[in-house]
Structure 1
Amino acid sequence: DTAVRTSQSGYLQRRLVNALQDLEVQYDATVRETRGVIVQFKYGEDGIDSTKSDYSKPDNVHKIVEAVTGRKVN
């Protein structure tokens, strides 16, 4: 049973990678095919840069951990 699921998921992963290999994010935040055809106007559909969001900053992560665990994090 596990071997069947592994082979099916591997096949699906290979198909997905093959389908997406021609896409790239441009500097204007659009997703385009290698031919230049726009597939998506804003990467991620919401236009939020996750590297600049509050959740990626260490101080805010510490606040979340403290709120969940009740212990102070250094």
Structure 2
Amino acid sequence: MEKHSNDPLHGVTLKMMLAELVDHYGWVELGKRIDIRCFTHDPSMGSSLTFLRKTPWARDKVDELYLRWKLEES
């Protein structure tokens, strides 16, 4: 029997999450919603992923925005 996780982010990688957010909002709007330099100054997937993987408070903000967006979408 499979265990089902109660974690809404189970199976969602940071890269998947960021790609979906960038596709939905674009870098400019994402930078307005989460004011961190990797989104507002010459943003790229690579540099943003590197920063987010090393910076828990910023990763938390991305997780929160992703969850709010997904809840609004459903």
Query: Per the shorter chain, which TM-score range?
Result: under 0.3
Answer 1 or 2: higher relative contact order, Cα 8 Å, separation at least 6. 2
- Which one has a larger percent strand, Structure 1 or Structure 2? 1
- Which one has a larger percent helix, Structure 1 or Structure 2? 2
Q: Which has the larger radius of gyration?
A: 1
TM-score by length of 2: 0.25
TM-score by length of 1: 0.25
